[in-house]
Amino acid sequence: MAFGVALLITITSASLATAQEAPVAEPPDTTSEPDTTSEPETTSEPDAMPTEPELALPPINAEVDPGQADLDEAVLKRIDAQTNADLESVAALIESALAKGLSDENSSFAKKMLGSIQLQRGQGLAGAMVRLRGRRQIQIKSEALRALADAVKHDPELAEAHMLIAQLNLLPDGDTEAIQKATTAAIGLYQDDPQELSKAYLLRAVTQEDTDKKVADLNAAIKANPKNTDALRERAGARLQAGDVDGAVTDLQEVLELDPTNQQIAQATVQQLVDLDRADDAVALLSKTIRAKPSEGLYRLRAILYRMLDKEDEAFADLNKALAMQPKDPLALLQRAEIALGREDVKSAKRDLKTAIGIAPQVEQIDQAIVVRCFIAIEEGRMADAITDMQTLIERNPKDTFRRLQLANLYLQDDRPRKAIETLTGVLDSDPKNVSVLRSRADAYLAVGEHQNAIDDYESALAANDSDAEKDDQANKALLSGILNNLAWVLATSPKDEIRNGERAVEMGKRAVELTEESEAHILSTLAAGYAEAGDFENAIKWSEKAVELGTENENDQIDQLKEELESYRKNEPWREKQETEENQMPLLSPEDLIDT
């Protein structure tokens, strides 16, 4: 989790923003303009005494304080200092005074004063950095660090200077050791200031490489200030790295408890929970935030979470609320269009897509809009248009295996099996053991009558699946049963004598039937075909009758073929099926030529 980086930006920008290069405070006005409303000033008598200076300098003891004159001049100039150059001049005078010699008391005072001046210089320079870029910013940063180093050299108790040193070193090319040294000094000085102490511990924590030391500093930061949300978020990240998922979630929940109206924190917290597969917890926290301060953005975010949890109705309701608050939210409209497609409500999907593009024409080019348009085309049977949209998505992200599989499937639906084979081969070049892709390419090979290539891919898919340790879930069972069924089918029914293998077809068919618990008519049919190829027509008829019975109950689209297969087995004739698709030769359109949905 990248908590540290976000924290770095927060701390640094906040500190530098407050350290502006402002002029030194105006000194009090020690002189007055003449009062023009008073009586005219009378001429002084010739023997009148000269006026005494308003600031009489104390007598200088040259033997005890040879630098006293420079120190006195520095004090006077400090009052009138307006610019960074003025402060440098004052600092030079104090350094001169120290070099010439001062009494212990004056030396201590001079060093404190010099430390204060250098801190002010460092703060001003740090503030100026915000407005600079490139080499000049780097130069000013170095100058600020030198000023701050002088500040703590002369007055080690300047906690602000230590903290600013640490914050400047958080910037690129900073010194981690300098951060730890400066924050350690600040921690010692802030023992009576819990708020600043918490910040110092947090600042030191983000540079700790040792997880235990990092967590110890974060614990101290939170103990000093239990409401330090940055420290809580940083500790959540450290706990995640240490494998303490529950502890991390607890910290993230506490962050949102402290500030339920902060949408930025809410979204970051929700994202962390989603990354932990804790979408239910994310929904609960988001719901609390919405109750505190409803907004269209939060409703839209919760709709996304509901969709992750397959709660489409709840998602749809939240999107309606988001659009009620902000009718011109194109992203909410696109999400609602996706849900409408899932409900086979193409009309509503098209309406929302059109409205979204009308509100913000640039939306038409984002991936989500292209996906919606693509699936509208699929629902309307415009496969060539859908293929063109899917190609656009893949061009933007060539490594998206899911989209490439979708494209291959669209090619198959549009009777372009060789294009599907080409697409799937490209995926397998980089991922040769992808079971789903191997199965899909095998199906495409069957469609063009290349049975041996199909068998090779099915066998490779089985081998890759068997090496997968996590193969007990329902999705994997469905994938495996499909591979077994299709392999058994081609081994039993291929018109090529050298391809068929009745015994292996029966073996594969039995496994497929067991995985599906005799619930799929076409898989029962495949086992029957295997028995027929092996010459066991008694079992062929038995399983074929079960397939016809189940297919009739479920109104299977292939019921006519299932009945024909049964009649063939009753005649002691095995089933043969070529399964070769005539390639669609119609050219595909460019994106500019797509039908307006």
- pLDDT band of residue 595 (cuts 50, 70, 90) is low
pLDDT, tens only, 281-325: 888 878 887 887 888 888 988 999 999 999 999 999 999 999 999
Question: Running DSSP on this structure, what letter comes out for residue 83?
Answer: S
The pLDDT of residue 265 is: 66
DSSP-assigned beta bridge partners for residue 207: none
Average pLDDT, the chain: 84
Would you call 593 exposed, middle or buried from its count of C-beta atoms within 10 A (0-12, 13-18, 19+)? exposed
pLDDT, tens only, 343-387: 999 999 999 999 999 999 999 999 999 999 999 999 999 999 999
* CA separation, residue 314 to residues 300, 303, 317, 318, 338 (Å): 11, 7, 5, 6, 14
Nearest to 513 by CA among 499, 501, 528, 503: 528
The pLDDT of residue 61 is: 54
SS3 (DSSP) at 580: strand
Question: Running DSSP on this structure, what letter comes out for residue 448?
Answer: B
- pLDDT band of residue 221 (cuts 50, 70, 90) is very high
Nearest to 144 by CA among 175, 119, 170: 119
Both ends of the chain: CA-CA distance in Å?
Answer: 41
Residues 345/365, Cβ–Cβ less than 8 Å: no
Report the half-sphere exposure of 139 (CA within 13 A, side-chain side).
Answer: 5
Alpha carbon 124 to its chain's center:
35
The more confidently predicted of residues 498 and 259 is 498
The pLDDT of residue 62 is: 53
Report phi then psi at 580, rounded to 5. Answer: -125, 125
The pLDDT of residue 145 is: 93
The pLDDT of residue 135 is: 87
The pLDDT of residue 592 is: 55
pLDDT > 80? residue 43? no
The pLDDT of residue 262 is: 65
pLDDT > 80? residue 585? no
Non-local (6+) Cβ contacts of 127 within 8 A are 16, 17, 18, 19, 20, 21, 22
* CA separation, residue 497 to residues 36, 486, 504 (Å): 124, 18, 14
Q: From its phi and psi, is residue 518 left (phi > 0), alpha (psi between -120 and 50) or beta?
A: left
pLDDT > 80? residue 188? yes
pLDDT, tens only, 224-254: 999 998 899 889 888 877 878 778 777 877 8
- Using only C-alpha atoms, what is the Rg of the chain? 39
pLDDT, tens only, 508-529: 999 999 999 999 999 999 999 9
Residues 190/200, Cβ–Cβ less than 8 Å: yes
pLDDT > 50? residue 48? no
pLDDT > 80? residue 45? no
pLDDT, tens only, 64-111: 678 888 888 888 888 777 777 888 888 888 888 888 888 888 888 888
Non-local (6+) Cβ contacts of 280 within 8 A are 309
